[in-house]
Amino acid sequence: MDEEKFILSLDEGTTSARAIIFDAEGNVRGMGQYEFPQYYPRPGWVEHDPEEIWEAQLRAIRTAMERAKAGAGNIEAMGITNQRETTVVWEKNGRPLHRAIVWQCRRTAEMIEEIKREYGDVIKEKTGLVPDAYFSASKLKWLLDNVPGLRERARRGEVLFGTVDSFLIYRLTGEHVTDYSNASRTMLFNIKRLEWDGDLLEIFDVPQEVLPEVRESSEVYGYTRRELLGREIPVSGDAGDQQAALFGQAAFDSGMVKATYGTGSFILANTGKTVRYSDNLLTTIAWGLNGRVSYALEGSVFVTGAAVQWLRDGIKIIKRASETEELARRLESNEGVYFVPAFVGLGAPYWDQFARGMIIGITRGTGREHLARATLEAIAYLTRDVIEEMRKLVGIKELKVDGGATSNDFLLQFQADVLGRRVVRPVVKETTALGAAYLAGLAVDYWEGVDEIRGLWKAERVFEPEMDEETRERLYHRWKEAVKRALGWAKVVEGQPDEHM
């Protein structure tokens, strides 16, 4: 009997590096996960040490292989999915030249405001993105401007830039590449012409020499160095975490929508080969596969799961995230308490870098049950905010969901209620890692094609809306009123004029 073959997926997130081994049916056979430190050198600044990411990822690989009882000979291919936009610069020997600037970091907010005033329309047309400090371009410009000697070395071709996928592929194989989905999140890539854009490189003063080669999301980029795992394994799948989750949900057809609930929440609607623009959503590349690029509309909500973490680690009203469900169920309603978790501003569809977190409706009777419920409800409301924008361009019948928070049945039922649409939870919840595995496996014929993958996807539970329309709209109206009061607050604090007031 031939030894069983698996696909190894590296899922490098914002707070931890994971490795998951999948079999041919898409089942998890082994997993490793290790957290790495978060660095906050100043308020609003967030950094990671790329070496700590690399070490955590290697440990995760070895743990996953041990738990799956798999050797290097059992691994047919490796796929990578990653926290997007996080910006890394390194030398050709692989040594990082600065801590990675994380997607959440707001250090370039003022820079982006200036660039947006002059070039906002150009950037939106070329990249599909609303200019924001969230994306890689301004982070890379900051590094080139502030790390001594970095710009000169970059122009001499001594420095490499990439998002975390690119850094990991380089350390694994020595190849400096990325895929279409990650490139489309840098704010330097032309999503129609499928190339690094000279005008954008000029706007952000980025030398072409630092940029990776952009490839499809499913092809062999290179082979792991033998000394890492004892065998050269093809690295053959790459996609940003949210695009990988869309692929893992088998959302291959135009109009299919998924929401991933993680540190933030990310809602993507497949638009097929059509580039659709929205004033308040992002247009992004979903993946490149078999010579064709698929596009998506995306709404990025910066803080959702992080708000639950704040309940646990910040104000310490819970010990475990799972407690929020039991606390929320103690109340029949939110009793007028709303929480807008705008810790780092608000993303889609508001795009207000100066919004700040707010809890409103507090009375003497407000307790931790209200805060827990308001936090879960906020996650659902923020998701509806994005879906409302998507509905203007694509028809949406249901929402497929994944991510850690999907174990919370209260949240998913409220999500269905506030959307007025069914919410579907899959059997395999590791859809981000699964999407990367599918992309890697397709490149080496482990799976025959997307139709085979479509047949592997199965629903574990469907949440049907139970709330009447009048209640749904009344609650949502109150949410919108709460958001209005949070917009622009940082400007108020700083004494600047604010258009929201």
| 332 has a pLDDT exceeding 90 | yes
Burial 401-417 (b: 16+ CB within 10 A, else e): bbbebbebebbbbbbbb
Quote the CA–CA distance of 266 and 298 in Å, as a whole number.
7
Here the tokens at position 459 are 């629903």
Residue 322's Cβ-count burial label (10 Å; 0-12, 13-18, 19+) is exposed
Point out which residues pair with 34 in neighbouring strands. Answer: 17
CA-wise closest residue to 57 among 252, 283, 235 = 235
pLDDT in tens, 281-300: 999 999 999 999 999 999 98
Beta carbons within 8 Å of 230's beta carbon, 6+ residues apart: 71, 72
Residues 106 and 134: beta-carbon distance below 8 Å: no
pTM of the model: 0.88
424 phi/psi in degrees, rounded to 5: -120, 125
* Mean pLDDT (whole number) for 404-424: 96
pLDDT band at 1 (very low <50, low <70, confident <90, very high): very low
Quote the CA–CA distance of 310 and 372 in Å, as a whole number.
11
pLDDT band at 495 (very low <50, low <70, confident <90, very high): confident
- Domains annotated for the chain, with CATH where assigned, are 6-241 (3.30.420.40)
Point out which residues pair with 10 in neighbouring strands. Answer: 19, 80
pLDDT in tens, 335-357: 999 999 999 899 889 989 889 99
| 104 has a pLDDT exceeding 90 | no
Count each helix (H run) and each strand (E run) in the chain, helices first: 17, 23
Greater confidence (15 vs 472) lies with 472
Cα distances (Å, whole numbers) of residue 19 to 31, 223, 305, 316: 6, 17, 21, 30
Beta carbons within 8 Å of 473's beta carbon, 6+ residues apart: none
* Mean pLDDT (whole number) for 70-93: 95
At 491 the pLDDT is 87
216 phi/psi in degrees, rounded to 5: -65, 165
| 207 has a pLDDT exceeding 80 | yes
Here the tokens at position 130 are 């609303």
Helix (H) or strand (E) holding 492: helix 489-494
* Mean pLDDT (whole number) for 97-119: 93
Here the tokens at position 124 are 């939106």
pLDDT band at 385 (very low <50, low <70, confident <90, very high): very high
Specify the pairing of strand 100-101 against strand 265-272.
unpaired
pLDDT band at 205 (very low <50, low <70, confident <90, very high): very high
**What is the helix, strand, coil percentage profile of the chain, to 5?**
40, 25, 35
Q: What is the residue type of 114?
A: E
Quote the CA–CA distance of 271 and 274 in Å, as a whole number.
6
Specify the 3-state DSSP secondary structure of 476.
Answer: helix
pLDDT in tens, 138-178: 999 999 999 999 999 999 999 999 999 999 999 999 999 99
Here the tokens at position 310 are 């704040």
3 state SS for 229-281: HCCCCEEEEEEEHHHHHHHHCCCCCCCCEEEEECCCEEEEEEEECCCCCCCCC
* Mean pLDDT (whole number) for 114-136: 93
At 498 the pLDDT is 57
CA-wise closest residue to 266 among 230, 239, 241, 236 = 241
Specify the 3-state DSSP secondary structure of 85.
Answer: coil
Distance of CA 243 to the CA centre of its chain: 8
